[in-house]
Structure 1
Amino acid sequence: MNAVAACSRLSAALYWLALVGCLFIAGTAAAAALEAEPAATGEAILYHNFRPIVTFRGTLLGASPAARARKSADRIDHLTPSQMVLPIELTPLTLDGVRGITLTAGGNLLFGVAETDLDPQEKLTLEQVAESARQRIAEALQADAEQRRPAVLLKGVGLSAVATVIAFALLWLIARATRMVVGRLQRLIEREDAHRQLRWARHGWLLVQRLSQVLMSFLWLTVAYLWLTYVLARFPLTEPLGDRLGDFLLDLLEDIGTSFIGAMPSLTTAVVILFLTKAANDAIGNFFKAAKEGRVQAPGLHADTVSATQRLVTVMVWGLGIAIAYPFIPMSNSDAFKGLSVMFGFMFTLGSAGIVNQLMSGLVLVYARALSVGDFVQIGDNAGVVSQVGVLSTKIINMRNEEITIPNAVLVGNTIRNFSRLAGERGTLVSTSVTIGYDTPWRQVHAMLIVAAKQTPGLRPVPTPFVYQKSLADWYVEYELFAHMDQPLERVPVLSALHANIQDQFNTYGVQIMSPHFNSQPASNLVVPRGDWHAAPAAPDAPRAGS
């Protein structure tokens, strides 16, 4: 007997050491949760070994249902192991005119059931309720007695140990497999990025890491849940908890499967609608592609506005398709979807003012055809070639090879000088001005300026450069030279070379550029003698300005 008792104590110690955490979390929480709801409705459920025995609904001899359940639990807990295996007897009685039945074990009162405890909706007799309670309490006491047997404890602990080893092995395999898959994906991402100018490895790697962590956590929780369910079911005392966890998992899978099957018609309808939307969008995309290539002509559709119009039409088509498919999406009418809709609507309302302003400004720029990619423009103090016309901002590259981002709203509010819009096949027009005194023949000035333009690399000889006399000022004549160029981005170096050639021409023929102005009036009239009107390099029949 001493050896058996010692073995029993050792088995019990191992059992509680292995399952104390499970019992504390699962058993206590489950019992508390199940007891809380009936107490709020004036009912009390009698539990023993995590098993519901009977529900008390009426007051008997001044004791409330909760007090009756508490006193009955105390009586059952004070039973000795030998009393737990005794048969349960039913004894009818009448108290205060209320008929009832008591349940006793070896003369020890366990609890009583009265007519006031019956549920009208169940339509059960007092005898049926008492018999059901007898079977449940007998099963609970039997489990309590079985739990005290060393063989049962040792078997449960052994099976639990095996399940624990298997669970840890599965967790290790999951972690190792996750590391292997993630490592291979990392090498694949880095190898792909080695051949790309746009490197996205750090962003893709972070995403892969987060997804792997979520997947591994889900698998670990699944293994832990199954392990806990199996271990609790191996001991008679906690078998109901294991059954509840298993039933919960099965009910959850059943609900998910039933919901998925029930949602198949609506989900299929939504998929078909989105598929038709994509087909329509692809057809529209082919039309705009043909329009961009010049194979299709449409009124009001220009090459500069094809891309923007395609984006607008794509947004409208997909918006219409999603609006039609939305009611068919499962759970679209749930409170969660409604809450998300309200939240996103509120966020869009607060943050969309500036975005909408930029979007509308971008549409104004596109459809006004103020600029396009490749145009050489000047916006305020910024001059350069347009590299991108976006929905929110426009990017230009200046002469220093710097990328400047300008919000579309700023562009709409400023003057845009486009040097390429009207160039066509003649090239972009550039100009520079000089001021020359009245004593220099204007024909000579024209000829020198045109020769300087023809000697400048980057300026086109055809069309021929030409000169205008912009004004006859008090002390000088202002001449402006115009020429065409093919590379607007080279405007600054080309103008620099042109200015150098102009200085060389005027120095060669001894003509003074009147900048700065005269400080005093010369002693004699500064006029050009008629014989010098065609001074070299001007020809006698040189055309007049602008011809």
Structure 2
Amino acid sequence: MLANSLCRRLPAGLAFFWLAASLFLAGLSGPVVAAAQVRPDEATLHYHFRPIVTLRATLVGASPEYRVRRALARIDALPAAQMQQAIELTPFSIEDRRGISLHIGESVLFGIVDGDLDPEEKISLEAAARRSADELHTALLAVSEQRRPMVLVKGIGLSLAATAIALLLLWLIRRATAFIVRHFEKVIDAHPESSGFRWARHGWALVQRIAQLLMGFLWLSVAYLWLTFVLARFPLTEPLGDRLTGFLFGLLETIGVGFIEAVPALTTALVILFLTKAFNDALGNFFKAARAGRVHVHGLHPETVNATHRICTIIVWGLGIAVAYPFIPMSDSDAFKGLSVMFGFMLTLGSAGIVNQLMSGLVLVYSRALSVGDFVDLGETVGVVSEVGALSTKIINMRNEEVTIPNAVLVGNPIKNYSRLAGARGTLVSTKVTIGYDTPWRQVHALLIAAAEQTPGLRALPKPFVYQRGLGDWYVEYELFAHMDKPLERVPVLSALHANIQDQFNSYGVQIMSPHFVMQPASNVVVPRDSWHAAPAEAEAGGPTAGSSQQPGTTG
């Protein structure tokens, strides 16, 4: 899969790099004979990629640029026989200036005067003229050498051999990269999702990109070496080859020297980070013991151990990185400073809401309002806490839906936690009914308590109890309280309790007045016993019967 992808994408990428390198060389070479400006008042004479001399003075009204163009025209006009002759130097004086003329036989090429010398170089006029003559003589010999057929044949032959070797290396790099990637892919596919390779599956796209970049880098390196070798095989382009070689070795030297100079600072930074990790591991062992109950610290509760551990970890690593940062190479460079300013600006713009959520999360954790596994009522959401994160809390409601609530929203609303106090006495649950004034309250208490005692999931001890919450216009409001051990089963237990309450009140003919009547009907609104299991309901064994009940009171 990745091998095909590499084959499709990398040739285009290599072509791009090749085009960029070609444009670079084209700009470097320009025409075979060119004059390059150094400063507005300077002009440098180049001949076949070789710098000959830099002219700075205006001589007899001729600017340095014009003098360079005139010198190039004279050099180009030299016959082939004169190119191999020695260059002669002849002093002259003009406009009260001392100069030296460079010529071959009767052909004057150009002249150098005192004003052309670089004051910072501190070199005599004779030495500058001799150096320019040597450079020009070398360039002329290269032109003559290039015209020899054997030199061309040898250069072309070596270039073809180098091209064949470069193509072979490119093919081998491609095949090796594809083989290694296919091997990794097979290793990952051979392991199940539950193994430690599951992260490798998620990062497979990154692995592909890294393989492509590595292959492109190797291809570009081979192309660079090939180009350097080929240019050095021809006398005219030999300076370009030398320049590319010098650039490569200079780059390697800079990297090597920089790495050697950075070793002490890197070692110091690694030691600091190692000590930071060791201290953080020690803190981790302490919090692990606190989580397991082997260590007790005042103010550190089981619900806040994880959050405190995370905060301490962030503080420790923050201090460690802050201490190690100055020892990182180039940490004081403008690039690092620019990145710091950019990240600070981004953090300033986007941190207001995030910090609010983070602080709200800390309030939730350290107030111990809820924890993972608690059954809570958040108003519109009732369910089990599955995760208390730094920015939000996740609740799984009774419909098995995951609800994500921002921590700032939770902090601003009341939280009912049915699991927090479910200790030795269990969690308290309650339900309300309204019964008419014509039913004795003692009978109502007995019926509600009997229904609670028959409900699975409610505890026998402490015993259920009933409060009369209010005296309305047509009925009395009763509330039954009972304890349960498993708060997560609150909804099904309440459903069973409501069913038992209906059975108990129907058994004794007591009317539940929760529906509001305009007027009292002639008979009590109850479900007859023989209709309790009307279709499609199924008969249930062990239900309460009027004859077996010990409840006091009479029908209301």
Return the TM-score normalized by structure 1: 0.88
Cα pair distance change 1:217/1:43, threshold 3 Å: same
**Alignment partners' CA distance in 1, 2:408 and 2:197:** 29
Query: What amino acid sits opposite 1:513 in the alignment?
Result: I
Q: Which residue of 2 aligns with 1:368?
A: 367
Q: Which residue of 1 aligns with 2:409?
A: 410
Secondary structure of the 1:434 match is strand
Query: What amino acid sits opposite 1:302 in the alignment?
Result: H
Structure-to-structure mapping, 1:153-164, within 5 angstroms: 153-164=152-163
Give me the CA root mean square deviation: 2.6
1:250 equivalent to 2:249? Answer: yes
- Report how far residue 218 of structure 1 moved: 1.2
Q: Which residue of 1 aligns with 2:118?
A: 119
- Report how far residue 473 of structure 1 moved: 1.9
Query: What amino acid sits opposite 1:295 in the alignment?
Result: R
1:240 equivalent to 2:219? Answer: no
Residue range with higher mean Cα deviation, 511-520 or 153-162: 511-520
**Alignment partners' CA distance in 1, 2:473 and 2:548:** 26
Residue range with higher mean Cα deviation, 114-123 or 150-159: 114-123
- Report how far residue 81 of structure 1 moved: 1.9
Query: What amino acid sits opposite 2:497 in the alignment?
Result: L
Indicate conservation of the 8 Å contact 2:422/2:487, yes or no. no
Query: What amino acid sits opposite 2:49 in the alignment?
Result: F
- Report how far residue 41 of structure 1 moved: 5.0
Q: Which residue of 2 aligns with 1:169?
A: 168
**Alignment partners' CA distance in 1, 2:458 and 2:388:** 28
Cα pair distance change 1:31/1:197, threshold 3 Å: closer
Structure-to-structure mapping, 1:342-381, within 5 angstroms: 342-381=341-380
- Report how far residue 519 of structure 1 moved: 2.2
**Alignment partners' CA distance in 2, 1:483 and 1:490:** 14
Question: Any idea what the Cα deviations from partners look like across 1:440-474, whole Å, max 9, x if unmatched?
Answer: 22222222222222222232333332222222222
Identity %: 66
Indicate conservation of the 8 Å contact 1:35/1:44, yes or no. no
Q: Which residue of 2 aligns with 1:206?
A: 205
Secondary structure of the 1:420 match is coil
Unaligned 5+ segments in structure 2 are 1-17, 524-546
Q: Which residue of 1 aligns with 2:542?
A: none
Query: What amino acid sits opposite 2:397 in the alignment?
Result: N
Paired positions, count? 513
Q: Which residue of 1 aligns with 2:134?
A: 135
Q: Which residue of 1 aligns with 2:543?
A: none
Q: Which residue of 2 aligns with 1:282?
A: 281
Query: What amino acid sits opposite 1:326 in the alignment?
Result: Y
- Report how far residue 170 of structure 1 moved: 1.2
Indicate conservation of the 8 Å contact 2:191/2:197, yes or no. no
Cα pair distance change 1:195/1:290, threshold 3 Å: closer
Question: Any idea what the Cα deviations from partners look like across 1:370-416, whole Å, max 9, x if unmatched?
Answer: 11111100112100011110000001111111111100011011111
- Report how far residue 475 of structure 1 moved: 1.6
Residue range with higher mean Cα deviation, 465-474 or 317-326: 465-474
Indicate conservation of the 8 Å contact 2:451/2:500, yes or no. yes
Residue range with higher mean Cα deviation, 187-196 or 244-253: 187-196
Cα pair distance change 1:487/1:191, threshold 3 Å: farther
Q: Which residue of 2 aligns with 1:436?
A: 435
Residue range with higher mean Cα deviation, 80-89 or 497-506: 80-89
Cα pair distance change 1:502/1:523, threshold 3 Å: closer
Cα pair distance change 1:54/1:106, threshold 3 Å: same
Residue range with higher mean Cα deviation, 466-475 or 402-411: 466-475
**Alignment partners' CA distance in 1, 2:279 and 2:328:** 21
Query: What amino acid sits opposite 1:105 in the alignment?
Result: I
1:503 equivalent to 2:502? Answer: yes
- Report how far residue 198 of structure 1 moved: 10
**Alignment partners' CA distance in 2, 1:36 and 1:389:** 72
**Alignment partners' CA distance in 2, 1:507 and 1:86:** 131
Cα pair distance change 1:354/1:181, threshold 3 Å: same
Secondary structure of the 2:308 match is helix
Indicate conservation of the 8 Å contact 1:27/1:50, yes or no. no
Q: Which residue of 1 aligns with 2:290?
A: 291
- Report how far residue 297 of structure 1 moved: 1.3
1:180 equivalent to 2:179? Answer: yes
**Alignment partners' CA distance in 1, 2:96 and 2:141:** 34
Residue range with higher mean Cα deviation, 182-191 or 137-146: 182-191
**Alignment partners' CA distance in 1, 2:21 and 2:451:** 95
Query: What amino acid sits opposite 2:461 in the alignment?
Result: V
Query: What amino acid sits opposite 2:103 in the alignment?
Result: T
**Alignment partners' CA distance in 2, 1:523 and 1:409:** 55
Cα pair distance change 1:323/1:165, threshold 3 Å: same
Residue range with higher mean Cα deviation, 264-273 or 232-241: 264-273
Question: Any idea what the Cα deviations from partners look like across 1:239-278, whole Å, max 9, x if unmatched?
Answer: 0000000000101110111111111111111111111111
Question: Any idea what the Cα deviations from partners look like across 1:43-77, whole Å, max 9, x if unmatched?
Answer: 21111110011111211111111111121112112
- Report how far residue 188 of structure 1 moved: 2.6
- Report how far residue 168 of structure 1 moved: 1.3
Q: Which residue of 1 aligns with 2:3?
A: none
**Alignment partners' CA distance in 1, 2:395 and 2:34:** 71
- Report how far residue 29 of structure 1 moved: 2.4
- Report how far residue 538 of structure 1 moved: 4.8
Cα pair distance change 1:112/1:258, threshold 3 Å: same
Unaligned 5+ segments in structure 1 are 1-18, 525-534, 542-547
Question: Any idea what the Cα deviations from partners look like across 1:199-248, whole Å, max 9, x if unmatched?
Answer: 55553111101111111111111111111111111110000000000000
- Report how far residue 348 of structure 1 moved: 0.7
Indicate conservation of the 8 Å contact 1:193/1:201, yes or no. no
Secondary structure of the 2:395 match is strand
Q: Which residue of 1 aligns with 2:534?
A: none
Q: Which residue of 1 aligns with 2:54?
A: 55
**Alignment partners' CA distance in 2, 1:241 and 1:385:** 73
Secondary structure of the 2:424 match is helix
Structure-to-structure mapping, 1:306-345, within 5 angstroms: 306-345=305-344
Question: Any idea what the Cα deviations from partners look like across 1:323-350, whole Å, max 9, x if unmatched?
Answer: 1111111101111001101111111111
Residue range with higher mean Cα deviation, 57-66 or 136-145: 57-66
**Alignment partners' CA distance in 2, 1:77 and 1:197:** 72
Cα pair distance change 1:506/1:233, threshold 3 Å: same
Q: Which residue of 2 aligns with 1:451?
A: 450
Query: What amino acid sits opposite 2:75 in the alignment?
Result: I
Secondary structure of the 1:101 match is strand
Query: What amino acid sits opposite 1:293 in the alignment?
Result: A
- Report how far residue 523 of structure 1 moved: 10
Q: Which residue of 1 aligns with 2:13?
A: none
**Alignment partners' CA distance in 2, 1:85 and 1:161:** 30
Question: Any idea what the Cα deviations from partners look like across 1:75-95, whole Å, max 9, x if unmatched?
Answer: 112222222122211111111
Secondary structure of the 2:75 match is helix
**Alignment partners' CA distance in 2, 1:48 and 1:23:** 20
Q: Which residue of 2 aligns with 1:144?
A: 143
Q: Which residue of 2 aligns with 1:42?
A: 41
Indicate conservation of the 8 Å contact 1:399/1:490, yes or no. no
**Alignment partners' CA distance in 1, 2:21 and 2:188:** 43
Indicate conservation of the 8 Å contact 2:449/2:466, yes or no. yes
**Alignment partners' CA distance in 1, 2:188 and 2:259:** 35
